[in-house]
Amino acid sequence: MTTATTQSEVTYLEAISQALDEEMTRDERVFLMGEDIGAYGGAFKITEGFLQKYGEWRVLDTPLAESGFVGAAIGAAMMGLRPVVEMQFADFISCAFDQITEVAAKNHYRWGAAVPMVIRAPFGGGVHGGPFHSECPEGWFFHSPGLKLVAPSTPYDAKGLLKAAIRDPNPVIYFEHKFLYRRIKATLPQEEYVVPIGKADIKRAGNDISLITYGAMVHLALEAAQLLAKEGIDVEVVDLRTLVPLDKETIYGSVCKTSKAIMLHEDNKTGGIGAEIAAQLAEECFDCLDGPILRIAPPDTPVPFSTPLEEFFLPKASDIISAARKLAAY
């Protein structure tokens, strides 16, 4: 058995860039579209150098017209290409809502047409971007059949899930968290790998409470779990990684082991993904439950621009600890 070789540490941002580069080298059908991704290298420099390497026909700078270039990408995908569209910020994805939900998501149901495209959506707060650059819009698309949604929390998952998304025959929205871009690092295998869509990951095993989350909240969950361990509360952290399709087997297996569940996400609380998972647990795992299903999420307001207000708005480790203590007491 050979041991996988590793490379130097890369950031979450660099892992995304590596995935794009490798897939463009592997498959000439893959091309990129987005605002300022070419000459400027992208708002976050993920595609820096790509224009020089692949040329202007595979790295297309687009106008500020999300509906237009997403529509063009859908057409290209239906003709056999593999477009990867970048939303400069996930908030702007609403401008292309009709194209995504009414065309890309429904073409398979209309006449069996594959739409193999990826929409990269930098989402989330913690970067003081205000209400128009910090949104978590995944809930809008969670309710739209025909789309796949992924939200990696680590460099390893970021690279592997993006490669899987590019190769998938369905439209995939790839939610990449801006707060993680340059804050977390990991060594990645030099050998090619893909993280399968639809598989959650247990980031920390535990026996007392299942803490189910995704994106940047995974790291907050791990921080809180470490602190709770000192109190004798053993928390299992379930990283969904894929939001659609949900890995119900892993979710249910964890909750049936611990008998208690907390949903944690950065999207607004009402109508969020945590609410749907809580409903599914109530329907499918009721006999396993030994306490109420709790949700931790921001209030139903836009993300504040003010630093202290944003800090109040976003979930904190103390929120998780308080909820876990309450649940552990049942």
CATH number of the 10-186 domain: 3.40.50.970
What's the rounded mean pLDDT across residues 161-187?
97
- The reported pLDDT for the residue numbered 8 is 80
What's the rounded mean pLDDT across residues 285-290?
96
Find the length of the chain: 330
Q: Between the CA of residue 312 and those of 177, 216, 234, 280, 307, what are the distances in Å?
A: 19, 16, 26, 29, 9
Q: Confidence band (pLDDT; 50, 70, 90) for 313?
A: very high
What's the rounded mean pLDDT across residues 201-213?
98
The yes-or-no verdict on residue 148 having pLDDT over 80 is yes
Q: Confidence band (pLDDT; 50, 70, 90) for 6?
A: low
Q: Between the CA of residue 176 and those of 179, 180, 220, 250, what are the distances in Å?
A: 9, 8, 16, 22
Query: Where in the chain do CATH 3.40.50.920 domains reside?
Result: 201-328
d(CA 157, CA 269): 25
Does the active-site annotation cover 133?
Answer: yes
Structure tokens at 116: 């193999």
What's the rounded mean pLDDT across residues 273-296?
97
Q: Domain 201-328 adopts which CATH fold? A: Rossmann fold (3.40.50)
The yes-or-no verdict on residue 150 having pLDDT over 90 is yes
Tell me which of 108, 128, 133, 219 is the catalytic residue: 133
- What is the residue-averaged pLDDT of the chain? 96
212-223, pLDDT tens digit by residue?
Answer: 999 999 999 999
30-89, pLDDT tens digit by residue?
Answer: 999 999 999 999 999 999 999 999 999 999 999 999 999 999 999 999 999 999 999 999
What's the rounded mean pLDDT across residues 224-239?
98
Which residue type sits at 137? P
Q: Between the CA of residue 34 and those of 112, 125, 134, 146, 259, what are the distances in Å?
A: 27, 22, 19, 23, 45
- The reported pLDDT for the residue numbered 72 is 98
CB 236 within 8 A of CB 320: no
Q: Confidence band (pLDDT; 50, 70, 90) for 300?
A: very high
**H or E element: which one contains 176?**
strand 172-177
The yes-or-no verdict on residue 2 having pLDDT over 90 is no
The structure's pTM equals 0.96
CB 275 within 8 A of CB 225: no
The yes-or-no verdict on residue 199 having pLDDT over 60 is yes
- The reported pLDDT for the residue numbered 5 is 56
Percentage of residues of the chain with pLDDT beyond 70: 98
Structure tokens at 284: 């499918």
Query: Where in the chain do CATH 3.40.50.970 domains reside?
Result: 10-186
What's the rounded mean pLDDT across residues 10-23?
98
The yes-or-no verdict on residue 210 having pLDDT over 60 is yes
- The reported pLDDT for the residue numbered 1 is 39
What is the DSSP-derived secondary structure letter of residue 32?
E
